[in-house]
A and B are shown apart, each in its own frame.
Chain A
Amino acid sequence: MRNNLVGNHIRRLRFDHDEMTQQQLADKVGVTRQTIVALEKGNYSPSLELAFRIARAFSLPIESIFYYEENAKK
């Protein structure tokens, strides 16, 4: 069950970036692996600052990683 309306493509992007592990991404953006797990599961909407750091880690604009979905909550 999705808890929030902000979705993301982090899991796919990690694999597109030489199968980057959750821990590697966590180290790059300065959070724990638990937070990356929660983001990928859709259990947590990151702060704007963290979203920008993740976007920078993938060298992509923020809207290529995160999207807003109106019908996510059931």
Chain B
Amino acid sequence: MTYQEKRSIVTLISTILIFAAYCLYMYPRYPEQGAELSELLHYWGAFVLVLMLISIIAHIVISIVFNIIYRMTTGEKEPGFTDELDRIIELRAHRTSFLLFILGFLCAMGSLVLEQPLYIMFDILIAAGFLADVSGSITKLYHYRRGI
């Protein structure tokens, strides 16, 4: 298995673990029933912003740790650049992620049209963001293994 394939798998697993751990931490902190709209919006805004911040920091740390472990176990240095194949795969991964997120966004807006509670809209939006991230990693892994 090549560096890029291993990296895609590590990214995929870490994305799932970070999201699951964060949700387990945050959902019990959901404002109690009868909370004001401003309190609910504050909760969801903080949920998304902190999740993004934690994800970025965790991915950077995991990437550094992964590169150190990769060098120690294989004796090879990780590629220091992206070539044309990497760029094409990256574009395809972005396309998949983008399409999934847009689909989720439309569903989230649909839930508002159908007069669903606010948390449904945010749940769909956050789930779409998560699935978009996961699908990007899966797309990368698929194309690194099967070609384009």
Contact = CB atoms under 8 A, between A and B. Distances in A.
Nearest to A44: B147
Interface stretch (B47-55, B79-87, B103-111, B117-125): B79-87
B84 A47 contact: yes
Interface SS of A by simple majority: loop
Given A31-B84, A32-B86, A43 B148 contact: yes
Nearest to A23: B76
Contacts of A35: 83-86
Contact of B148 (A30, A31, A33, A44): A44
Contacts of B79: 32-34
A72 B84 CA distance: 23
B146 interface: yes
Given A46-B84, A47-B84, A50-B84, A34 B3 contact: yes
Interface of B: 2-4, 79, 81-86, 144, 146-148
Interface of A: 3-4, 30-35, 37-38, 41-44, 46-47, 50
5 contacts: A32-B81, A34-B79, A35-B83, A37-B2, A38-B147
